[in-house]
Amino acid sequence: MTRDDIEQALGEELARIAPDISLGEIDRSEDLRDEFDIDSIDFLNLVTALAKRFGLDMPETDYGEMDSFNHLADYLMAHLS
């Protein structure tokens, strides 16, 4: 799985949760939840969807590594390879 595949999947899952904000509008290095205006239940839904899609655990103790779009993509890359 390439970085592009991961970013595309991440974009799809975010679009389900925040259909009014497109990837092009956000700063990928800024706080993910601020950029997409998502609350803790949205974030939990995002993690749930990604964990299912990629077969990962994504424990709560790792949430700190998922704080921006780029960091979340890095996290998925690291755990999928």
Partner 1 sequence: MSAFLMPSLGADMEAGTLIEQAIAPGQPVSRGDIIAVVETQKGAIEIECYESGTVTEWLVAIGERVPVGTPLARIDTGEAAEPVAAASKPVPPPEPVEMEQALKPLPVSTGARVLASPAARRLAAKEGVDISALPVTPGQPIRHADVAAHLKAAPDPEPHTGLSAMRQAIAAAMSRSKREIPHFYLTHQVEMTALTDFIAEVNAGRAPEDRLLPPVFYLRAIARALQKYPEFNGHFEKGTFSPAGAANIGLAIALRGGGLVAPALFDVSAQERDELMAQMRDLIGRVRAGRFKARELSEATITLTSLGDRGVDGLFGVIYPPQVAIVGIGTPALRPWVVAGEVVSRQIATLTLAADHRVGDGHRGALFLRAIDRFLQEPETL
- Nearest approach in angstroms of CB 28 to partner 1 is 19
Stretch that binds partner 1, among 4-12, 53-61, 68-76 (CB under 8 A): 53-61
33 touches partner 1 by CB under 8 A: yes
Examine residue 23 and tell whether it contacts partner 1 (CB under 8 A): no
Q: For the chain, state the CA radius of gyration.
A: 11
Question: According to the binding rule CB under 8 A, does residue 11 interact with partner 1?
Answer: no
Question: What is the DSSP annotation of 13-74?
Answer: HHHHH-TTS-GGGS-TTSBHHHHHT--HHHHHHHHHHHHHHHT----GGGGGGGSBHHHHHH
* Residue from 6, 32, 58, 72 in contact with partner 1 (CB under 8 A): 58
Q: How far is residue 43's CA from residue 16's CA, in Å, rounded to a whole number? A: 12
Residues near partner 1, by CB under 8 A = 18-20, 33-34, 37, 39-41, 44-45, 47-48, 51-52, 57-61
